[in-house]
């Protein structure tokens, strides 16, 4: 039997630790992982022992690098439709309103923002980096850009989304721009996130969940309108898959950390 791609550990303090466990693939998300994440979030809705969640990635080198490039997802021919397995990997997409705190060690890039965009706040190691490779590979950053723009000043989100692989946002700059709420020494993100989550789990859960729902509602309408444009923008702007693969194969390993 293969090991699960996502591990869950629940403590007596009401905090569940959810760990993406594909370190050999930088915790990239395949179809099995996407389905398991959705199942975990749905399960937490009915588990009264879980009152807060910490989400992280195994191995220390990466929180998550988005969808696994080995995954094949056939697409409809219509530019108005898009099959995206990452749309259902987040807690809010699965109607979970218990607070989720992200603990980021290493890289977080591309489709990782589907998850980070649905967490209440981020705790990151000082060595963490954030980037979005889409434009470098001839792909439109649509969903990712919407999530970023709701968490950062417009100029910072635009720079991160447009610079592709040429530049990475360092943890300190991410903290300065509000993407990250707390910095820790290397290896300390999970412990710090757990401390915060334990406080949230100790509060009356109805009040906490209502507050999460209110915070989400404050930006939900704008987000929904923005995401509605994503399928057409991707269909119009993406290069054919074979050309994307060629750009990926010839990618530069050089980048600047800002």
d(CA 143, CA 209): 25
Could you tell me if residue 68 is inside a domain?
yes
**CATH number of the domain to which 89 belongs:** 3.90.226.10
Please give the pLDDT value at position 243: 94
DSSP state, residue 4: P
Going by pLDDT thresholds of 50, 70 and 90, the confidence category of residue 1 is very low
| pLDDT tens profile 94-119 | 999 999 999 999 999 999 999 999 99
Find all residues with CB under 8 Å of 220, minimum gap 6, and list them: none
Contacts of 5 (CB under 8 A, 6+ apart): 20, 21, 22, 30, 32, 33, 36
Over residues 2-48, the pLDDT tens digits come to 568 999 999 999 999 999 999 999 999 999 999 999 999 999 999 99
The reply to whether 220 falls in a domain is no
Please check whether residue 192 lies inside any domain of the structure.
no
Decide if 59 contacts 104 (C-beta within 8 A): no
Task: Please give the residue range of the domain that contains residue 145.
Answer: 6-186+227-257
Distance CA 136, CA 251 (A): 8
Residue 218, domain member (yes or no): no
Q: What's the total number of domains in the chain?
A: 1
Tokens 């757990």 sit on residue: 194
- Which of 198, 158, 154, 151 lies closest to 175, judged by CA? 151
**pLDDT score, position 2:** 57
User: Looking at the domain assignment, is residue 210 inside a domain?
Assistant: no
pLDDT at 77: 83
Cβ neighbours for 154, distance < 8 A, ≥ 6 positions apart = none
Could you tell me if residue 213 is inside a domain? no
Least confident of 143-157, 182-196, 239-253: 239-253
Residue 197, in any domain of the structure: no
Average pLDDT, the chain: 95
pLDDT, tens digit, 9 for 90 and up, residues 118-154: 999 999 999 999 999 999 999 999 999 999 999 999 9
Residue 191 in contact with residue 184, Cβ under 8 Å? yes
In a domain, 201, yes or no: no
Tens digits of residue pLDDT in 58-93: 999 999 999 998 888 888 888 778 889 999 999 999
The pLDDT tens digits of the residues spanning 35-49 come to 999 999 999 999 999
């Amino acid at each position: 039997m293969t090991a699960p791609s996502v591990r869950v550990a629940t403590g007596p303090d009401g905090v569940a630790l959810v760990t993406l466990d594909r370190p050999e693939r930088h915790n990239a998300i395949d179809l099995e992982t996407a389905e398991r994440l959705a199942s975990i979030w749905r399960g937490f809705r009915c588990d009264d022992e879980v009152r807060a969640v910490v989400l992280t990635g195994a191995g220390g080198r990466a929180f998550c690098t988005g969808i696994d490039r080995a995954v094949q997802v056939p697409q409809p021919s219509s530019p108005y439709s898009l099959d995206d397995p990452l749309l259902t990997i987040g807690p809010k997409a699965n109607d979970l309103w218990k607070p989720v705190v992200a603990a980021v060690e290493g890289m977080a890039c591309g489709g990782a923002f589907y998850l980070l965009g649905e967490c209440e706040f981020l705790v990151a190691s000082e060595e963490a980096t954030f980037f979005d490779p889409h434009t470098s590979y001839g792909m439109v950053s649509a969903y990712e850009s919407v999530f970023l723009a709701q968490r950062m000043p417009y100029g910072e989100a635009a720079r991160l989304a447009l610079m592709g692989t040429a530049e990475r946002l360092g943890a300190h700059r991410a903290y300065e721009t509000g993407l990250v709420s707390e910095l820790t020494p290397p290896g300390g993100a999970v412990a710090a996130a757990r401390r915060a989550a334990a406080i949230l789990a100790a509060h009356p859960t109805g009040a906490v969940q209502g507050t999460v729902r209110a915070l989400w509602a404050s930006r939900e309408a704008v987000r929904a309108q923005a995401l509605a444009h994503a399928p057409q923008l991707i269909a119009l702007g993406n290069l054919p898959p074979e050309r994307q693969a060629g750009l990926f194969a010839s990618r530069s390993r050089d980048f600047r950390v800002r």
